[in-house]
């Protein structure tokens, strides 16, 4: 819930279709990283369907973190590439 909530907040903060640059997107990134850490704590030593489900959740968390980092970095990268 923490990771999905962070994604929703990041989409709202970035004003997605317009890609507004804001450094406040660091906060949802940190919350998503905390949520991923909590998901990693659920790993078990023996492999099973529960273990496979946790791995899928970790992959989803990593995709969300990449998406939030894209929202954070893209407006600055686009601005720097358009000024040269």
CA distances from 29 to 9, 42, 45, 72, 81 (A): 10, 20, 28, 9, 24
Instruction: Decide if pLDDT at 83 tops 90.
Output: no
pLDDT in tens, 11-68: 999 988 788 888 999 999 999 999 999 999 999 889 999 999 999 999 999 999 999 9
Backbone angles phi, psi at 6, to 5 degrees: -65, -40
Distance CA 32, CA 54 (A): 16
Whether the CB-CB separation of 14 and 71 falls below 8 Å is answered with: yes
Domains of the chain, residue spans: 2-83
Whether the CB-CB separation of 6 and 68 falls below 8 Å is answered with: yes
């Amino acid at each position: 819930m923490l990771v999905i909530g962070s994604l929703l907040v990041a989409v709202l903060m970035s004003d997605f279709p317009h890609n507004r640059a804001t450094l406040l997107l660091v906060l949802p990134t940190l919350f998503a990283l905390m949520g991923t850490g909590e998901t990693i704590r659920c790993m078990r030593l023996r492999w099973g369907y529960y273990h496979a489900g946790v791995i899928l959740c970790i992959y989803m968390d990593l995709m969300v973190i990449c998406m939030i980092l894209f929202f954070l970095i893209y407006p600055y990268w686009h601005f720097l590439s358009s000024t040269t």
